[in-house]
Amino acid sequence: MLKWEIIDAYLGLPYRNYDDFTFKKAKQDMTANENKLAVLRDSVSMNIIPELDLSKFEGKYENQVYGFAELVQKENFLELTLEHHSKLKGKLEYIGNNRFLCTYSDPTYGVKVFPFEIVNGNVKSFDLFVDDFIDYQPYRFIKQ
């Protein structure tokens, strides 16, 4: 923000409070994100029954770049473990339409929705997401 204040001063423009503008935008984005997360958590609390039994989602999945991910059924949710992040876990709770809400054990990774692809009653793949500041691209994991 200092950069823009210096440019404005050099150009003889009146003072603009860039910090206030940025703070208001960040606060607005944070509120929108909290509201979206509340809606997703409400979907979890509805205890929607998945199209397929959770046991059909269990297994080893592979991403050609990352490596392996494994899903294991625990009670009424799935637990995600990743080959190269052995201490990181993800709790996947069903929210409808073949999507799961993933809450990572490390809050840095965020809370994300994972869509699953189901073909002829079998799980084919899922897209893994992490918080955008880590990586904004999805990782497609294909069931082995």
Q: What residues contact 112, with CB distance under 8 A and at least 6 apart?
A: 101, 102, 104, 128, 129, 130, 131
96 and 63 in one domain? yes
136 and 73 in one domain? yes
pLDDT tens across 70-87, in order?
A: 999 999 999 999 999 999
58 and 33 in one domain? no
Q: Quote the pLDDT of residue 29.
A: 95
CB atoms within 10 A of CB 114: 21
84 and 128 in one domain? yes
137 and 91 in one domain? yes
72 and 8 in one domain? no
Q: Residue 106 belongs to what domain range?
A: 54-143
61 and 37 in one domain? no
85 and 29 in one domain? no
The pLDDT of 113-129, averaged and rounded, is 98
Q: What percent of the chain has pLDDT over 70?
A: 100
127 and 104 in one domain? yes
Mean pLDDT for all residues in the chain = 96
Residue 1 pLDDT exceeds 90: no
What pTM value is reported for the model?
A: 0.87
Domain count, the chain: 2
71 and 37 in one domain? no
Residue 67 pLDDT exceeds 90: yes
